[in-house]
Every structure is written in C-alpha cells, then in structure tokens.
Amino acid sequence: MPLLLLLVQGGCAGVRAVRTLEPGATELALNGGGPFVVDYASSYTGPGGVLNAHLRHGLKDGVDAYLGMDLGAPAFGTVWVDGGVALRLLQEGVAAGLPYLLLQQGLHYATDLDGHVVLDELVLTMSYRFGAFMPFFGWDHVVSLAPALDHLGIAFVGLRWDGRAFFLSHELRWFGPWEDGGRPMMRYLSPGGAGVLGATLSIGVRL
C-alpha cells in the first residue's frame, strides 16, 4: 500500500479529543469515516472507510490518556492500534475571544506480521462551548516513522454535541491541502485538485 495512503488512514483512525475529561472520568467511543472516493481507476480497493474504537480516561485536571484499535483491520489480516495523551493548553474564557486549546500526542502501530507501520500524530484543537454544542477546528499532523519517513497535514472542522451520558461528533477533514489530489489508483474528492476531503462521525458514552 502506498505510504501516502497509510498516512491518510492514520489520519482517519482517531476519535477527536475536543476537551479533556474530568479526573477519573472515562469515555468509550466508536468512530467511522475516511476520505471521499469519487471512483476507482483499478481493482485496488485501498483504505476506504475506517471503523475504530477508543477508550479515553481523565488522569488529572487537564490531562487524558487514550487507547484505540481499528476494528476493520483484522478482516484484512492487519492489527492497527494507537494510544497517547491529550493536554489542555488553554482554558476557554481566560481572555475575551480565546478558545479552549488542546494538544494531542499519539502513536499508531500497524502490522500484518510481515511488516509494520509506525506513525506519530500531533493534533492541535481549538473549541468553543455553546451549551451542549462545541464547534471545533484545528490541525492534525501525521508523520510516518516506519517503514519510511513521510508526513501529511490535515485541516479539520467539526461539531460535538454532549448529552447526559452520550455524545455525537461530526467532522470534515481536508487531507494534505497542498498535495496533488490526483491518485493513480483511485480518485478522491479533491477541491481544485488540492488534497483530499473526508469526514468522520463519532458516537460515544461516558462510563
């Protein structure tokens, strides 16, 4: 699989942390989505949608830890897991107009027993709260450490709704806005030929 496609899949694989949890609180979430594919130019199926599960836990005020797994990868003989931490950098309302600022650092590991992929992911997320709704936006940077060095930037914007026990989050992602959106094995939805558009939907429960 081309390295760029692995980077795109890595960028699809996480449930977005918008804000840290309260100390001791836990969330379990399912996330589905991926790049919008217009059509395939060959029989290569590539990474279409990704379905994964993530468990997130509040360690202390302003600090989360999380673990996740791609639920569809085993069907293709692959195991894909990820984990990391989320840190609150800025509390909303410290000064007029300032958003809640969150930094998320994670690692992805995938293997089919013959080879392996290691990705580093650094995400900066800004959000505002309006009652139960939280619009958010930011930048996700995925760096391949193995089997070769490469990187992919992802701009995103989304909306999260928090209920009493459940939450929903919908997000639009623009993979590699500076990249050529044309691919030899498939055609993605690529505005003006720049990058690739995709979307995700997450549903979760507080345990």
pLDDT tens for each residue of 188-204: 555 666 666 667 778 88
Torsion angle (degrees, nearest 10) of CA 4, 5, 10, 16:
100
Q: What is the pTM of this model?
A: 0.81
Distance, CA of 190 to CA of 2 (rounded, Å): 18
Overall size of the chain counted in residues: 207
Exposed, middle or buried: residue 12 (CB in 10 Å: 0-12, 13-18, 19+)? Answer: buried
The tens digit of pLDDT for each residue in 138-168 reads: 999 888 888 888 888 888 999 999 998 899 9
Cross-strand partners of 102? 88, 125
State yes or no: pLDDT of 114 exceeds 60.
Answer: yes
- What's the pLDDT at 185? 44
Identify the residue whose tokens are 């029989």.
43
Distance, CA of 95 to CA of 149 (rounded, Å): 40
Distance, CA of 34 to CA of 198 (rounded, Å): 5
